[in-house]
Amino acid sequence: MSENKLSQHIEKQRIYLFDNVKWLAIILVVIGHAIDFLARSNTGNQFEKSLFVFIYSFHMPLFIFISGLFLKPMDKDSKFPRDKVIAFLGIGIVLRAFTSILRLFLGEKESFSILNMYDSYTWFMGAMAVFIFITWLLRAYDKRIILPIAVLAGCMAGYDKNLGDKFSLMRIAVFFPVFLIGYYLTPEQILKLASAKWAKIAAVLIIAGFAVLCFMNKDFTAQFRPLFTGRNRYTVLGEGKYAFGALYRLVCYAIASLMGLSVICLTPNKKLGYITVMGGKTLQIYFWHRMILMVFEHFNLYEKIQSVTGGTAATAIYIVIAVGVAFLCSVPFLAFPSKQILSIGKKTNKN
């Protein structure tokens, strides 16, 4: 095979693999947000709480890792990628406005704030803008120095009482190392790992083992649930374990890395029809899905299903509905307004 054909072959595999991974990641995001209120309340049983921890252990780190992986490499002469920064900031502000307006229409009390990212979804847009900006600032420095410092900062963030939902600072500090790891690696390196037979076998064992841990150990799910969200200080661990918070964060990083890579290794490296197409539409799905789930929660859809089927069956049905929401949000006309905002961002590079 010629060098040119080999390059095209690798490119084709890379696109299919990572679009399929992004599809799975966005499906898990939607499911995680759908069952979030069950994991937080007394309504949900242990199954919902365990499923929540299983999903949250790696789904956002996987998303962030993939985002870093496909950020164009930058050197000291690279221009500031203002198109991407402006686009993510713009989408985040519009998303917060839309969700605030929806809450007002639903009769809920709402206080619009661009700065206080108290919710569980719009923070991602602002964080992505910051990740890209900081990566550009650090582009000329040795990654062997930058990455350990970023991990250290992520581990120490949980001790800082000044970090929290304001500007999403806690999540930015916690998840930035994940973005950096993706940025410092290449798609070809991940593709090579994913194609190794030993990696696929290890991936099955890792996912199976972690699933057993999540669904069989209540203490583990209770302890790690607030840490996997990336927004909480180590005070959630309790006074006796507070001092060991940094070690807990390292465990979270290890779990996210192993689970994320395992998912990538087991993801089919071929075109899967509309699933692969959806993998290229994750931004618009992310934008719209939570608003639909908010309507479901307002009208107590889960409770209505539960009254007919019972708890676990209701959860299964609700998860199927959540997957349907993800597919619904991928339709072309719901590309608005994220597509338009991305276009505005690109135009800034031409000025």
The alpha carbon of 131 is separated from its chain's Cα centroid by a whole number of angstroms, namely: 14
Distance (Å, rounded) from C-alpha 277 to C-alpha 199?
A: 26
Which residue in 112, 65, 1, 48 sits closest to 315, CA to CA?
48
Six token digits for residue 55: 């999903």
| Cis previous bond, 177, omega within 30 | no
Distance (Å, rounded) from C-alpha 311 to C-alpha 45?
A: 8
**Looking up tokens 């927004």, which residue turns up?**
231
| Cis previous bond, 332, omega within 30 | no
Distance (Å, rounded) from C-alpha 96 to C-alpha 30?
A: 17
Distance (Å, rounded) from C-alpha 220 to C-alpha 225?
A: 8
Q: How many residues does the chain have?
A: 351
Six token digits for residue 7: 């390059």
Q: Helix, strand, or coil here: 116? A: strand
Helical spans, DSSP H, in 106-142 = 123-137
Phi-psi region of 109 (alpha: psi -120 to 50; beta: other; left: phi over 0): beta
- Answer yes or no: are the C-beta atoms of 140 and 75 closer than 8 Å: yes
pLDDT at residue number 36: 87
Q: Helix, strand, or coil here: 94? A: helix
Distance (Å, rounded) from C-alpha 279 to C-alpha 159?
A: 36
Distance (Å, rounded) from C-alpha 45 to C-alpha 321?
A: 19
pLDDT at residue number 40: 72
Type of residue found at 102: L
Distance (Å, rounded) from C-alpha 47 to C-alpha 86?
A: 40
pLDDT at residue number 5: 41
pLDDT at residue number 165: 81
Report mean pLDDT in 10-residue bins for the chain, 351 residues. 46 73 96 86 75 95 95 91 93 89 86 62 90 96 96 97 87 97 95 95 98 94 93 93 97 98 96 95 96 94 90 90 97 94 74 59
Non-local (6+) Cβ contacts of 124 within 8 A are: 60, 63, 92, 286
Six token digits for residue 1: 């095979």
Phi-psi region of 107 (alpha: psi -120 to 50; beta: other; left: phi over 0): left
